[in-house]
Amino acid sequence: MKKKALFLALALAGSTTAHAQTAAQPETAQKESDSTETTSHKAVSEIDKLTIIESLQTIKKDPSQVKFHSAMCYDMAMPPEYTTFSCPTCGTETQYSYQSYQGEVANRVAYLIRSIGQIKAKTEVDFSDFCNKCSKDNDGQPKLKFTTHCLDCSQTFTWTANTIEELEQLSLLFVSFPVTEVDQGHLGQQKIEPEKLSEYLSNRLLCPACREKHGLK
């Protein structure tokens, strides 16, 4: 009787172990699936990067392949005299002439914060020069400053938009790749020449070393 009970206990133990091993299999499969998914995302990212670089090289070689649209653009008949810059960091409000460079930056704060994620290379924007509280150099000409993580090597580099023309042209950074057409109707007198498009985009998506490596300098 004791032997029979012992055999029954061993059989139950073996069954429990087998069940535990079977239950663990889906978790292992899930981990393998996650790993495959991660690898897939990395591959897509690499493909996107190559597509962008090849598009920039193509535009530099032959800008005529890109169609530029230049519809009529109308200015506001009676713009207000002043506009208010509301600092996205501290909330301090600073008043500027509406038609000044500072006023143009003030009018684009929400637009830039909302749109900067569309730039293919990770980019941050610094508005501190335009805030009376955050600015470290109140006597100098304010600059809209950008920090970009190079599309190729991820090293950071900086660049600025110091004029109304440069502010207007920032929308060019939101194009889709490969670039086949560019709508410049909203740019008014600030339209970029086709032969300068590749240089403009390259200078804001790739660091100097990578621009040279890919023949885009």
Q: Which ranges of the chain would DSSP assign to H, the alpha helix?
A: 2-61, 101-115, 164-169, 197-205, 208-213
Give the pLDDT confidence of 155-201 residue by residue, as tens digits. Answer: 999 999 999 999 999 999 999 999 999 988 777 777 889 999 999 99
**Region of poorest pLDDT, from 49-53, 97-101, 133-137, 208-212:** 133-137
Look at the chain and report how many structural domains it folds into.
Answer: 1
Mean pLDDT for 94-113 is 96
What pLDDT does 75 receive?
Answer: 57
- Rounded Cα distance, 195 and 193, in Å: 6
Instruction: Tell me the average pLDDT of the chain.
Output: 82
Q: Which two tokens stand for residue 18?
A: 């087998």
Q: Does the structure show a pLDDT above 60 at 34? A: no
Does 162 map to a domain? yes
- What residues form DSSP beta bridges with 51? none
What pLDDT does 26 receive?
Answer: 43
Q: At what angle do helices 197-205 and 2-61 cross, to 10 degrees?
A: 140
Does 4 map to a domain? no
Q: Which amino acid is at 213?
A: K
Does 61 map to a domain? no
Does 42 map to a domain? no
Taking CA 203 as the corner, what is the angle to CA 199 and CA 89, rounded to the nearest 5 degrees? 140
Does 108 map to a domain? yes
**Higher-confidence residue: 211 or 23?**
211
Q: Does the structure show a pLDDT above 70 at 134? A: yes
Q: Is 126 exposed, middle or buried (0-12, 13-18, 19+ CB in 10 A)?
A: middle
Give the pLDDT confidence of 41-98 residue by residue, as tens digits. Answer: 344 378 899 999 999 999 999 999 999 887 655 555 688 999 999 999 999 999 999 9
Q: How far is CA 11 from CA 2, 7, 14, 24, 82, in A?
A: 14, 6, 5, 20, 86
Does 19 map to a domain? no
Contact 46, 152 (CB under 8 A): no
Does 172 map to a domain? yes
Q: Residue 109: give the domain boundaries.
A: 66-213
- What residues form DSSP beta bridges with 147? 124, 158
Q: Does the structure show a pLDDT above 60 at 19? A: no
Does 96 map to a domain? yes
Q: What percent of the chain has pLDDT over 90?
A: 64
